[in-house]
């Protein structure tokens, strides 16, 4: 086959990918806008807040804090102290002995005054999809408040809406939106569309946890 054929095929594939990315981005943004809150006073109260995990450090050796992480902790503490949530589920990656997002989040929440008894750990929140579905199926919550940055909340809400979960989200302050973060988020939204289409399930389930 000629060079022109392969060039045209490549251009077609790139354009198709850009179209899919654009469509998914629009769907996620448009369908979740009414569920996002930035003003605590206007945020409805829910029993449980689902705090989505991320790495604590940008540079662990130099102890440089990831502001996405810090701002999520700040937001969760603010919601709890304002009485907008009674319990916090910290959901994140605990894939190895040396990396445990939920444990770090719990420790930081306790240090900020949230009682340990009010914090539940989800150690199998490897993906946003896992965190949302495990909050429903393991922790028994069909109505809760998601806590993360706006771009992440939009994707999480999109998943919740497709799974008949009554969720709202509180937007933590953004960190620096580097181009790789923006690109990763765009591609993650395409992945979510495929996961929902094929009814992707969490990597791990386990025994149910009762939140009184």
Kindly write down the DSSP assignment for every residue of 17-40, as one continuous string.
Answer: HHHHHHHHHHHHHHHHGGGEE--G
In which domain, by residue range, is 166 found? 3-197
H/E run at residue 174: none
Q: What is the pTM assigned to this prediction?
A: 0.91
Q: Please state the domain count of the chain.
A: 1
Render each residue's pLDDT in the chain as its tens digit; 212 residues.
677 777 777 777 878 778 878 888 999 999 999 999 999 999 999 999 999 999 999 887 788 899 999 999 999 999 999 999 999 999 999 877 778 999 999 999 999 999 999 999 999 999 999 999 999 999 999 999 999 999 999 999 999 999 999 999 999 998 766 777 788 898 999 999 999 999 999 999 999 999 97
Query: Is residue 138 one of the residues assigned to a domain?
Result: yes
Q: Note whether residue 204 is domain-resident.
A: no
Structure-derived torsion over alpha carbons of residues 54, 124, 101, 186, reported in degrees to the nearest 10: -10
Flag whether 208 is in a domain: no
CATH number at residue 73: 3.40.50.620
């Amino acid at each position: 086959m000629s060079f022109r054929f392969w060039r045209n095929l490549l251009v077609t594939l790139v354009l198709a990918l850009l179209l899919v990315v654009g469509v998914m981005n629009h769907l996620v943004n448009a369908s979740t806008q009414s569920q996002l809150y930035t003003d605590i006073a206007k945020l409805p109260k829910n029993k449980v807040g689902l705090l989505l995990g991320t790495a604590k450090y940008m540079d662990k050796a130099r102890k440089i804090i990831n502001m996405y992480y810090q701002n999520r902790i700040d937001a969760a503490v603010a919601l709890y102290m304002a009485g907008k949530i009674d319990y916090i589920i910290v959901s994140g990656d605990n894939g190895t002995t040396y990396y445990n997002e939920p444990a770090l989040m719990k420790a930081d929440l306790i240090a900020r005054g949230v009682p340990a008894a009010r914090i539940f750990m989800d150690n199998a929140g490897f993906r946003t999809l896992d965190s949302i579905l495990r909050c429903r199926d393991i922790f028994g919550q069909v109505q809760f408040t998601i806590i993360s940055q706006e771009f992440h909340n939009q994707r999480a809400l999109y998943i919740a809406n497709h799974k008949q979960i009554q969720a709202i989200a509180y937007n933590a302050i953004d960190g620096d939106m580097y181009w790789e973060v923006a690109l990763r988020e765009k591609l993650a939204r395409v992945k979510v569309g495929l996961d929902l289409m094929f009814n992707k399930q969490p990597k791990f389930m386990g025994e149910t946890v009762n939140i009184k």
